[in-house]
Amino acid sequence: MQLTRKSRSLIRRLVRELNRNKVDFLARRADLKAKISDLQEGGKVAIAYGGIDCDGGRWDNRVSTVPASPVAVERWYDRYEARAEGPQWQTLEKPSVASDLVEDDRDLALEAFEDGHSHVLFA
């Protein structure tokens, strides 16, 4: 079977689409390990996190301390994302820096009601 110009073009497009969103997990894990080694103190690293739940409750600057290993950090990320009810965010910090963070909780829907304007939650 001889490849025509059209079939070669289709094959190239297919290969390009298959490789477009490919994530290099090994490189991502190596970057995480380097970041953890920079931020760890006493064998621990802090994760500062926040999010918004489905009812409009917002929290920010909560801190969890985990062992300074990529496996422990990835396990924490996976568990946190598994319980997600809305957008969430997290960042690695040094434990000494994270201890200075002040936790913040707000009810966005209630604040909008008290202010007298409507509030819409977007996913």
Instruction: Indicate whether 87 belongs to any domain.
Output: yes
Residue-number span of the structural domain to which 81 is assigned = 43-123
pTM: 0.74
Instruction: Indicate whether 22 belongs to any domain.
Output: no
| Residue 32 confidence (pLDDT) | 95
- The pLDDT tens digits of the residues spanning 78-123 come to 999 998 888 899 999 999 999 999 998 888 878 877 888 776 766 4
Q: Do residues 66 and 72 lie in contact, with contact meaning Cβ atoms separated by under 8 Å?
A: yes
Instruction: Indicate whether 95 belongs to any domain.
Output: yes
Q: Which two tokens stand for residue 78?
A: 């996976």
Tell me how crowded residue 68 is: count the other CB atoms within 10 A of its CB.
Answer: 20
Instruction: Indicate whether 69 belongs to any domain.
Output: yes
Strand ranges (DSSP E) for 39-110? 44-52, 57-67, 88-93, 104-107
Instruction: Indicate whether 73 belongs to any domain.
Output: yes
Among 66, 39, 58, 61, CA closest to 48: 61
Averaged pLDDT for residues 57-72: 93
Instruction: Indicate whether 38 belongs to any domain.
Output: no
Instruction: Indicate whether 6 belongs to any domain.
Output: no
CA dihedral 12, 16, 17, 22 (to 10 degrees): 150
Q: Report the number of distinct structural domains present in the chain.
A: 1
Instruction: Indicate whether 15 belongs to any domain.
Output: no
Amino acid at 89: W
- pLDDT over threshold 80, residue 21: no
